[in-house]
Amino acid sequence: MFSYKEEFKKSFVTRMERKGMEKTAELAYETLWEMTQEWIQKRWNRTNQLYRDNNEKKLYYFSIEFLIGRVLGQNLINLNFYDTVKEGLDELGLQLSEIEELETEPGLGNGGLGRLAACFVDSLASLGLPGHGYGLRYKGGLFTQHFVNGYQTEQPTQWIQQEHNVDIRREELAVDISYYGEIQVVMGLDGLKVNVENPEWVKAIPYDMPVVGANGGTVNTLRLWQAEVSDRPFPGREDYAVYEHETAKITDRLYPDDSLEAGKILRLKQQYFLCSASLQTILNNRSFSIEALPENAAIQINDTHPALAIPELMRLLIDDHALSWDQAWDITTRTISYTNHTILEEAMGKWDSRLIQSLLPRIYLIIEEIDRRFKKSLQQQELDEEALHKLSIIENGTIKMAVLAVVGSYKVNGVAKLHTEILKKREMKELNEQFPNKFHNKTNGITHRRWLLKANHELSGLITEAIGPRWIKEPERLSELHYFAQNHSFLQDFQAIKSLKKEHLIHHLQRNQNVVVDPDSIFDIHIKRFHGYKRQLMNILHIQMLYDRIKRDPTYRPYPRTFFFGGKAAPSYHFAKQVIKMINTVASKVNSDPLARKHLHVVFVENYNVTQAEYLIPAADVSEQISTASKEASGTGNMKLMMNGALTIGTFDGANVEIFEEVGQENAFVFGMRAEQVMQYEKEKSYNPKEIIDSDSEIAQLMEELIKGEWTDGKNNVDFIVGQLMEDSDPYFVLKDFRSYSKAHEQILKAYAHPEKWAEMCVKNIAASGIFSSDRTIQQYSNDVWHLTKIPSIY
């Protein structure tokens, strides 16, 4: 154990020397990596031992994505070694920050949903709760984004390095997964039994990654499954090369879609692979009777992607453990709970029945039976057609995973108050009426250990100086900062840190993208996946309008602003890709205009990922959270930015609503339609963007410029954009909310003119952000859903 710098230095140098090479950053990285793994391993063994001895209930968090980001620095922070190691390395002439830069980020997720899973496992370990993550070990993480002529291009990202992997192969825990085959009903000892003959087998190998909790006490496990060829014989295996290739494909890459559906057979294979492998391990390694599963294990399914866990658990209980349907159903529906992360139709998880029937014949039969029994239970009620439609799992050849997930879980939650209300009152109204106690809200959270302690070490230090270190363990204590919101010297220190973090970002961008940013400008940051509802288009249209004003009106000379964008579009999402292209085109036009450039600068950060977020978020003055109300289930970037003292310009959507509630609307810039208005318009189909264009000359001019192709390399490049705004009736209400968005930006400029008042608002945001720590979220899940007991492991 290294609590002392000198000890660390000695051991570090000895190891470096043993390697007998030059003192390069690469070697230092390798050495530090090894040492960290050793520190972790001891704690990991101890936690596992404690869990075995205690036999308490465990949580298994099933998620198709875990966007963990770089791990080295975070592990050092959670071990409480970061400062010691940093100082020690400094004295040896090495920079920890440079060493950290050598780690390739494992991009095992797309955006919010995957990053949430990563925050959750961090919080579970930090709270000393026995909860593990189960996911997939994609060889290629999310694609690397580059811009070529302003267009997004996608390159594969290989994060797995042979030398020092972040995970450990656990060959001895491998299980087999079966696909395809023919159903046979045979007479067994206890009656009829369903068998699947001649399936195709694939081996699932777990790779375990340590999840280090705060203070290096508890180390839980993130288990990622990799697909490999099975040892079992089966027909078809003879064509080995094809079989090998098909098998490797299962965990070859992450699907690059977020809030969109990819109804592909490979994706279905992935989903089943995750569910079957994870459930088999849980059942194989249990120390309790199968009937006692719900008292010993809670399984949370992160969105519908792992919803096959429901029929798969039924299959294992009935076919392998010889339980009756009723027993199996009772156990399943007391073990599994489900989180819904979206109401977007295109992401609701729907499968063609025939696909499931052919790939997973036994699972299909079970889903059919679940549907049949559920429908039968509804027969006593007088339900209209609409209700029956909403309540059916299988309908017109489609399997609706969200309905299956609700029916087969004991609890269902939305991820912010507004989102849960929309689920209960609209999207899942009928299901909520059938299961009135199932639905509940758990507003998302983020781990302050990454988004403050790691990403903003300086601000964390200032907070500790002011209110002491207890907030680190109890983040709701950030509220004590309220006393400092009007303290002149504290505000000055805050401003100095904001400037420093801006410098860090500038330096980072200079190195990576060769752009130079004015450190005195307002840093206005819009970072998230590209999607119509997230309205990056509204932001860039507004910039276009500002440019026009500057050119047109010699008295309009606003305070300098840098508008940052960061985010990727799903490769198949043409509209989003056109918005990316448009932003890049606007950027070159604005940035190369000597007059406009004094007031506006547009920077598109290439390849936005967790690492980039750690640079951008602490440097932000303004946080753009401008989704069409009702569409963003929660958002979590909004929380990260708030916690770092950025002020939100945002709609009443997702968790923004709660952010405004906590901090007060006077400390944010709220604009736009409310969810009810949006939904009303949608219902009545009564919104006509043409009316807005006709009544607002500035907007009309923008549209004209767009149509003429003035903001693009040519007319064709904006076809989708113009088409969506005009022919498709502007489905995300960009033009409808545009004017109030622009007014909110004017308010920002007014507020920024008073630096001390601005800083006061920022500090109030930080003070109100404690409730958005994922420690709070996880504690609520534990209290209300999982019922876990803390097993703190003190090292």
Active site residues: 341, 528-529, 534, 636, 640
CA distances for 200 relative to 238, 358, 742, angstroms = 11, 12, 58
218 touches ligand GLS (CB under 6 A): no
Q: Which one, 262 or 496, has the nearer CB to ligand GLS?
A: 262
Residue written as tokens 């694939």? 202
The strand pair at 600-605 and 622-625 is best described as unpaired
Q: Which is nearer to ligand GLS, 35 or 639 (CB)?
A: 639
The answer to whether the beta carbons of residues 442 and 633 sit under 8 Å apart is: no
**Under the phi-then-psi rule, with left for phi > 0, alpha for psi from -120 to 50, and beta for the rest, what region is 472?**
alpha
Question: Nearer to ligand GLS by C-beta: 490 or 573?
Answer: 573
Q: Are 420 and 414 in contact (CB under 8 A)?
A: yes
- The stretch among 112-120, 318-326, 398-406, 485-493 that binds ligand GLS (CB under 6 A) is 112-120
Which among 639, 670, 666, 643 has a CA at the least distance from the CA of 758? 666
Structure tokens given for 290: 């199968």
DSSP 521-587: SEEEEEES---GGGTHHHHHHHHHHHHHHHHH-TT--PPPEEEEEE----TT-HHHHHHHHHHHHHH
Binding pattern for the stretch 382-421 against ligand GLS, x by CB under 6 A and - elsewhere: ---------------------------------x------
Q: Using the rule CB under 6 A, which residue among 126, 259, 332, 460 binds ligand GLS?
A: 259
The secondary structure of 132-149 as a DSSP string is EEEEE--SEEEEEEEEET
10 Å Cβ neighbour count for 136? 27
Which of residues 255 and 669 has its CB atom nearest to ligand GLS in the complex?
Answer: 255
> Is 75 an interacting residue with respect to ligand GLS (CB under 6 A)?
no
AA letter at 528 = K
Spell out, one character per residue from 655 to 694, where the chain touches ligand GLS: x when CB under 6 A holds, - when not.
----------------------------------------
Q: Which stretch binds ligand GLS (CB under 6 A): 376-384, 563-571, 634-642, 772-780?
A: 634-642
Sign, CA dihedral 389-392-397-401, equals positive
On whether the CB atoms of residues 142 and 609 are closer than 8 A, the answer is yes
- Of 98-106, 107-115, 170-178, 603-611: span binding ligand GLS (CB under 6 A): 107-115
Choice between 84 and 634, CB closer to ligand GLS = 634
Contact between 635 and ligand GLS (CB under 6 A)?
yes
Using only C-alpha atoms, what is the Rg of the chain?
27
687: tokens are: 């919104």
Stretch that binds ligand GLS, among 110-118, 361-369, 583-591, 751-759 (CB under 6 A): 110-118
**Tokens (6 digits) for 57:** 């209930």
116 binds ligand GLS (CB under 6 A): yes
> In the complex, what is the shortest distance from the CB of residue 655 to ligand GLS, in angstroms, rounded to a whole number?
7
CA distance 603 to 580: 12
Region binding ligand GLS by CB under 6 A among candidate stretches 12-20, 27-35, 106-114, 221-229 = 106-114
Tell me: does residue 111 bind ligand GLS (CB under 6 A).
yes
Nearer to ligand GLS, 16 or 113 (CB): 113
Which of 157, 634, 712, 724 binds ligand GLS (CB under 6 A)? It is 634
Minimum CB separation of residue 643 from ligand GLS in Å reads 15
Please provide the DSSP assignment of 355-401 as one string.
Answer: HHHHH-HHHHHHHHHHHHHHHHHTTTS---HHHHHHH-SEETTEEEH
Q: Residue 280 or residue 420: which is nearer to ligand GLS going by CB?
A: 420
Euclidean distance between CA atoms 361 and 199, whole angstroms: 10
* d(C-alpha 586, C-alpha 705), whole Å: 12
d(CA 357, CA 297): 29
Q: Given the complex with ligand GLS, which of 314 and 403 has the nearer CB atom?
A: 403
Judged by CB, which is closer to ligand GLS: 113, or 718?
113
Report the nearest approach of ligand GLS to the CB of residue 416 (Å): 8
Containing H/E element for 414?
A: strand 412-414
Q: Residue 264 or 389: which CB sits closer to ligand GLS?
A: 264
Subset of 128-187 contacting ligand GLS (CB under 6 A): none
Give dist(CA 761, CA 759) in Å, integer: 5
Candidates 153-161, 357-365, 482-490, 628-636: pick the segment binding ligand GLS (CB under 6 A): 628-636
**Site size for ligand GLS, by CB under 6 A?**
17
CA proximity to 578, closest of 586, 591, 342: 586
Point out the residue whose Cβ comes nearest to ligand GLS. Answer: 112
What is the DSSP secondary structure assignment for residue 27, as one 8-state letter?
H
Token pair for 227: 């697909």
Residue type, 773: S
Residue 107 engages ligand GLS in binding (rule: CB under 6 A)? no
Residue 429's identity, in one-letter code, is K
Q: Is 636 in the site for ligand GLS (CB under 6 A)?
A: yes
Site string for ligand GLS, 334-373 (x = CB under 6 A): -------xx----x--------------------------
Name the segment binding ligand GLS (CB under 6 A); options: 109-117, 475-483, 487-495, 583-591: 109-117
Nearer to ligand GLS, 402 or 403 (CB): 402
Instruction: Using the minimum distance from each CB to ligand GLS, give the nearer residue, 398 or 441.
Output: 441
Mask for 643-662, x = binds ligand GLS (CB under 6 A):
-----------x--------
Dihedral over Cα of 764, 742, 577, 513: its sign: negative
Contact map string, positions 486 to 505, toward ligand GLS, x by CB under 6 A: --------------------
Residue identified by tokens 């295996």 is 237
117 binding ligand GLS? (CB under 6 A): no
| Residue 632 within binding range of ligand GLS, rule CB under 6 A | yes
Instruction: Using CB under 6 A, pick the residue from 505, 537, 633, 785 that binds ligand GLS.
Output: 633
Please report the DSSP string for 586-647 in residue order: HHHHHHT-HHHHTTEEEEEESS--HHHHHHHHHH-SEEEE-PPTTT-S--SHHHHHHHTTPE
Task: Return the range that interacts with ligand GLS (CB under 6 A); candidates 271-279, 358-366, 633-641, 678-686.
Answer: 633-641
Positions in 428-457 near ligand GLS (CB under 6 A): 444
Among 167, 200, 246, 258, binds ligand GLS (CB under 6 A): 258
Q: By rule CB under 6 A, what string of x and - marks binding of each residue 288-307 to ligand GLS?
A: --------------------
Q: Tokens in use for 301?
A: 């399914």
Instruction: Reduce the DSSP state of residue 335 to 3 states and report it.
Output: helix
Give contact residues for ligand GLS (rule: CB under 6 A): 111-113, 116, 258-259, 341-342, 347, 415, 444, 632-636, 654
